[in-house]
């Protein structure tokens, strides 16, 4: 006979999803790079991204917020007098049933009945005191007697459930033999802990204890330290619960506890256990307390479980905050997170951990000589590729079509091809390359249909017209207003996109980046990328133009291209004091001498034949008029893009200048 087996499918919860797609680092790298360019260190930027999360995953802040929300829900939902209320309910039931029995029993002596009724009538308001007073009462009603005995049984089970999770239900309807076994376990446990505290225990002592009482410990500890950790965590939670009660509730509970199982021996053993555990694990929180204001009463066992949940939530909150030195996401206890917030939250935490590890292992972040994390050259190239692609997309959308091919930046195609040489960046002539491979394969006596292998000698590239190489100076304003007006990151993204374009598509060109604030200086791309927002005042375009002029003169055979990004009129220029170094003179509004010095330096650039474009960020009338006049002096252009469109504007102007080096248009 054929046996048919049915299959059941559910959410995978055995750790990281084996079918999960590989981590996509592009979103993380873009976010980290944006924060780095805004002034964060790479380490801070990475932490910020992990806090925010991505488009499809929760970040640490969201997970931490859910942890805190659950904590608030627990405190607002519950109160701590559940056991006291249940004991009072059983006492009221016992007294009511006893009164009914006294009223029904016609054979009872009237004097005895009156005495009993008076005794029940005058019970103390305190449940604990009433239970103590009725400890020796001779119940006439079997129902009342059972209800009263249930109070003692309830207290015993609740006290045990506080220290040993699950005892309340396990001991329901327990026999005297069961209680005796529990008492023996407690004595043996305390003896073992006493011995361990003195350093006299052996592994055999633990094994013998577990062999005799192991069924009382579903956690299945592997050694005495695991046993102590489990018990101490719950015992400390029980102490915190006791401290969180009002003084009246605490006094009432302690008095009632003496009646547990009808004997004070249980309470004595539990107090001894608490003392042993506190001595062995003093690092647990034995003195904390919480403020509950809900309406759902908690018994001692359930309440202790809630306090354990609160402790877990606090630990998770600390882990998710990543505030400790050297913290990583591997510190987050994913099992606890799953237990408290569910599998989806655990999956998000695992994804964040994989992402953090992947970023560190990918080579996109590296430690400098000072030990700090930095964007690696690989990350800068990857980011430059992304920014250049974005700029090209914006350029295409703005012009309606791609009128300039970034991949064909070596010049106009002539229609012919030639053999590839080392250093060529022209596109392949695919048809001719494959034809060469087929011809060589046939000449070697092999059938191309059985396999075709392209060798370097087969490769031909599309020939292009010769073009003039360029010396490109990109001057970027780093004055205070650039950071204050939200133009800092777009400026950096623009520089990085242009740098990547020149480095990958115009390798014969020379690019110099110059930042100008109170002073100007040449910067490498990684220095500019990591540059924090400048807080000094001053727009020293004069100094920036001086550095550009020096750069152009260092490359006299290259076509000079000058690109200037600024959002303000010049407010500083250099003063020379004989043998002393130059000093920046600052004045706002712009001083006439500052404007005169800046214009004079621009004229020097113009005499070198530099094709000049100003990118104006801002609409101040003085800036508009000044840049328009500057552009007219050197037959240049003024482009006024939005900050987000700056990269596309600069790349577009650079490509225009490379495609039509002799084109001279007036200002826009």
Residue ranges of the domains in the chain? 25-78+313-375, 81-291, 413-464, 470-659
The CATH-assigned architecture of domain 470-659 is 3-Layer(aba) Sandwich (3.40)
pLDDT for 91 equals: 95
How far is Cα 90 from Cα 153, in angstroms, rounded to an integer? 11
CA separation (Å) from 466 to 410, 414, 422, 463, 611? 8, 10, 17, 9, 19
pLDDT for 1 equals: 42
Neighbours of 437 (CB within 10 A): 18
Tokens 């806090």 belong to 51
Asked if omega into 615 is within 30° of 0 (cis), the reply is no
pLDDT for 316 equals: 92
- Crossing angle of helices 265-280 and 176-197, rounded to 10°: 30
Q: How far apart are the first and last CA of the chain?
A: 87
Look up the pTM and report it.
0.63
**E strand or H helix at 246, and its extent?**
none
Q: What is the DSSP string of 436-473?
A: HHHHHHHHTT--GGG-----GGG-EEEEE-----EEEE
How far is Cα 641 from Cα 413, in angstroms, rounded to an integer? 31
Q: 109 burial class (0-12, 13-18, 19+ CB within 10 angstroms)?
A: exposed
Cβ atoms of residues 157 and 262 within 8 Å = no
Cβ atoms of residues 515 and 528 within 8 Å = yes
CA separation (Å) from 608 to 250, 271, 422, 491, 553? 91, 93, 33, 26, 8
Instruction: Enumerate the β-bridge partners of residue 514.
Output: 475, 522
- List of long-range contacts for 221-229, beta carbons under 8 Å, 24+ apart: 224/192, 224/196, 228/193, 228/196, 228/277, 228/280, 228/281, 229/281
pLDDT for 412 equals: 55
Structure tokens at 17: 């999803």
How far is Cα 54 from Cα 616, in angstroms, rounded to an integer? 34
Q: Which residues contact 86 (CB under 8 A, 6 or more apart)?
A: 154, 297, 299
Instruction: Enumerate the β-bridge partners of residue 511.
Output: 472
**DSSP label of 375:** E
pLDDT for 641 equals: 87
- Crossing angle of helices 224-244 and 203-213, rounded to 10°: 60
**Average pLDDT per run of 10 along the chain, which is 668 residues long?**
54 54 70 72 77 84 93 94 93 95 88 92 92 91 94 90 86 83 92 95 94 89 94 94 92 87 81 94 92 91 92 92 81 91 88 79 66 68 72 60 40 68 70 88 84 86 69 91 84 85 83 92 84 82 95 93 91 76 84 93 93 89 91 91 84 75 43
pLDDT for 577 equals: 63
Q: Where are the alpha helices (DSSP H) in 342-472?
A: 343-361, 377-399, 430-443
Q: For 485-538, what is the HEC assignment?
A: CCCHHHHHHHHHHHHHHHHHHCCCCEEEEEEECCCEEEECHHHHHHCCCCCCCC
pLDDT for 406 equals: 39
pLDDT for 546 equals: 95
């Amino acid at each position: 006979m054929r046996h048919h087996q049915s299959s059941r499918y559910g959410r995978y919860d055995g750790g990281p999803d084996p079918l999960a797609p590989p981590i996509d680092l592009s979103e993380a790298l873009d976010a980290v790079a944006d924060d780095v360019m805004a002034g964060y260190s790479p380490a801070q930027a990475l932490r910020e991204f992990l806090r925010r999360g991505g488009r499809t995953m929760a970040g640490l802040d969201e997970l931490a917020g859910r942890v805190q929300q659950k904590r608030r829900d627990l405190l607002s939902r519950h109160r701590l007098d559940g056991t006291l209320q249940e004991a009072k309910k059983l006492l009221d039931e016992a007294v009511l049933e006893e009164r009914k029995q006294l009223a029904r029993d016609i054979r009872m002596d009237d004097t005895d009945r009156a005495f009993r009724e008076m005794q029940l009538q005058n019970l103390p308001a305190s449940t604990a005191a009433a239970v103590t007073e009725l400890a020796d009462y001779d119940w006439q009603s079997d129902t009342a007697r059972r209800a009263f005995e249930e109070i003692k049984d309830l207290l015993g089970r609740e006290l045990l459930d506080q220290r040993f999770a699950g005892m309340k239900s396990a001991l329901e309807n327990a026999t005297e033999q069961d209680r005796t076994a529990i008492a023996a376990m407690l004595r043996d446990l305390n003896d073992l802990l006493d011995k361990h505290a003195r350093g006299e225990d052996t592994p055999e002592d633990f094994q013998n204890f577990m062999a005799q009482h192991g069924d009382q410990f579903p956690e299945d500890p592997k050694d005495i330290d695991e046993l102590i950790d489990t018990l101490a965590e719950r015992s400390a939670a029980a102490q915190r619960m006791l401290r969180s009660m009002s003084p009246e509730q605490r006094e009432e509970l302690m008095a009632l506890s003496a009646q547990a199982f009808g004997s004070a021996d249980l309470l004595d053993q539990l107090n001894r256990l608490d003392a042993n555990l506190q001595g062995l694990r003093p690092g647990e929180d034995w003195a904390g307390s919480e403020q509950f204001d809900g309406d759902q009463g908690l018994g001692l066992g359930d309440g202790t479980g809630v306090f354990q949940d609160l402790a877990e939530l606090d630990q998770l909150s600390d882990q998710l905050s990543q505030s400790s030195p050297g913290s990583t996401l591997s510190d987050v206890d994913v099992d606890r997170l799953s237990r408290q917030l569910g599998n989806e939250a655990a999956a998000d935490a695992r994804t964040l951990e994989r992402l953090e590890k992947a970023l560190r292992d990918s080579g996109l972040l590296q430690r400098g000589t000072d030990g700090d994390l930095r964007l690696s050259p690989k990350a800068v190239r990857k980011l430059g590729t992304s920014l250049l692609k974005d700029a090209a997309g914006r350029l295409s959308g703005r012009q309606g079509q791609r009128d300039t091919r970034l991949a064909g930046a070596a010049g106009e195609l002539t229609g012919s091809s030639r053999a590839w040489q080392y250093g060529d960046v022209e596109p392949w002539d695919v048809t001719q390359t494959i034809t060469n491979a087929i011809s060589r394969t046939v000449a070697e006596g092999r059938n191309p249909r059985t396999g075709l292998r392209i060798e370097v000698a087969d490769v031909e590239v599309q020939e292009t017209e010769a073009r003039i190489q360029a010396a490109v100076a990109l001057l970027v304003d780093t004055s205070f207003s650039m950071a204050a007006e939200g133009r800092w990151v777009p400026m950096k993204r623009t520089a990085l996109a242009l740098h990547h374009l020149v480095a990958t598509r115009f390798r014969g060109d020379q690019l110099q980046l110059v930042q100008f604030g109170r002073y100007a200086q040449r910067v490498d791309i990684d220095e500019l990328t990591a540059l924090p927002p400048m807080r000094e005042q001053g727009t020293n375009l004069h100094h920036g133009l001086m550095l550009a002029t020096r750069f152009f003169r260092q490359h006299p055979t290259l076509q000079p291209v000058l690109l200037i990004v600024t959002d303000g009129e010049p407010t500083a220029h250099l003063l020379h004091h004989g043998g002393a170094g130059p000093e920046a003179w600052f004045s706002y509004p712009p001083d006439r001498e500052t404007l005169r010095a800046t214009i004079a330096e621009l004229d020097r650039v113009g005499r070198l034949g530099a094709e000049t474009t100003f990118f104006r960020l801002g609409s101040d009338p003085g800036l508009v008029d000044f840049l328009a006049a500057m552009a007219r002096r050197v037959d240049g252009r003024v482009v006024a893009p939005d900050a987000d469109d700056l990269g596309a504007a600069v790349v577009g102007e650079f490509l225009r200048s490379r495609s039509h080096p002799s084109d001279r248009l007036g200002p826009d």
